[in-house]
Structure 1
Amino acid sequence: MNNRDQDNDTGGRRITAAPGGAGQAPLDDAAKLIIEQLQKDGRQPYSTIGRAVGLSEAAVRQRVQRLLDAGVMQIVAVTDPLQLGFPRQAMIGLRTDGDLEAVADRLAELDEVNYVVITAGSFDLLTEVVCRNDDHLLEILQRLRAVEGVLSTEVFVYLKLRKQTYTWGTA
């Protein structure tokens, strides 16, 4: 744990449900309330969260650490890809052959891929990518298509973001 964590400052980071949380014991009400508070403002001090949920600062700190250690949530910075020089975003649907999880794992290793999900329906996998421009998107597509087991891709270029939230999962 670094000094920043000890100061109860999450540094403007977003709290999301972490991948791989399935199969764990259900969260109690206090854990859900803590997550809700962090989803509203990931920079809140544990003392402020404690007052909101009826727990001590120490209890909140311990519970947050357990939630992080268990992979129930993660604390991350939410960035605006456009502000970072990545004005092109796209969702890519992939049809695959062979070991679906192995293909998903290989796609997840690519730096530009920020989301990989195994699906039911028209596509076996969906990935989201952020790109500098259309040439960069084409380069990424070529790398995705070169992954063993990828049969075909369909690209859905984002034109305008209308809604994006991170407050699910505690109701």
Structure 2
Amino acid sequence: MENLDQFDILIIKELEKDGRMAYSTIAANLKISNTMVHQRVNRLMEQGILLGIKPVINEKKAGYDWGSFTGITLNKDQDSTRIIEELKKIPEITECYYISGLFTLYIKISARNHEHMRKILYEKIDNIPGISKTDSIMELGCAFKRNVSL
């Protein structure tokens, strides 16, 4: 956290409460200037510490009742960049990680129902050249999700 000072952390914590909060409200809450908040948020975004301020969608309430965590084994690990670009084209894949162990990549998939999940896995993902196999664990609900503590 060498790039973050006390004000950066306090501003981030205010934004975590409500990403739509006006900078003037954050400034008033923290007893600092509106300009300081604006400059700090811009700097945090330029540095890549804040990746953006976006809505958090509840997939279940949006009609995506099925979720899976899916490990992907590649024929050749050096094909991962090309395969990741293909995975990005599938909108139901919301996260993709490089991992160690049995798989090369681990993805999070959201689907409307079991038939939709089957089509994503068998008709989209399995048709990407270079993917050897997938292994999915069905998600039964999120107990909690949060940012790292600053």
Q: TM-score, normalised by structure 1?
A: 0.76
Q: Give how far 1:169 is off.
A: 5.0
Q: Determine helix, strand or coil for the equivalent of 2:19.
A: coil
What is the aligned-residue identity percentage? Answer: 28
Partner residue of 1:84?
Answer: 62
Name which of 27, 32, 35 aligns with 2:9: 32
SS of residue paired to 1:99:
helix
CA contact (8 A) 1:108 1:115 kept: no
- What is residue 139 of structure 2 aligned with on the other side? 158
Alignment match, 1:44:
21
Please report how far the alpha carbon of residue 161 of structure 1 lies from its aligned counterpart in structure 2 after TM superposition: 1.9
Which residue is 2:119 aligned to? 139
Structure 2 gaps of 5+ residues are: none
Length-normalised TM-score, structure 2 = 0.85
Of the structure 1 ranges 61-70 and 91-100, higher mean CA displacement relative to structure 2 is found in 61-70
Measure, in 2, the Cα distance between the counterparts of 1:169 and 1:144: 34
* Residues 116, 127 of structure 1: 8 Å contact kept: yes
Is residue 94–residue 153 contact of structure 1 (8 Å, CA) maintained in 2? yes
Q: Is the 8 A contact 1:114 1:128 kept in 2?
A: yes
Aligned to 1:4: none
Where 1:89 maps in the other structure, the secondary structure is strand
Report the Cα offset of residue 110 of structure 1: 1.3
- What is the identity, as a one-letter code, of the residue corresponding to 1:154? D
**Structure 1 vs Structure 2 CA RMSD:** 1.8
CA distance in 1, matches of 2:49, 2:56: 18
More helix by share: 2
**Greater Cα shift, 112-121 or 50-59:** 50-59
Question: What is the total number of aligned residue pairs between the two structures?
Answer: 145
SS in structure 2 of the partner of residue 71 of structure 1: coil
Native 8 Å contact 1:104 1:118 kept in 2: no
Q: Which amino acid aligns with 1:122?
A: L
2:72 alignment partner, SS class: strand
Deviation for aligned residue 1:50: 1.9
Q: How far 1:115 moved relative to its partner?
A: 0.4
| Structure 1 unaligned blocks of 5 or more | 1-24
Does the CA-based 8 Å contact 1:116-1:126 persist in structure 2? Answer: yes
Q: Distance in 2 between matches of 1:108 and 1:58?
A: 37
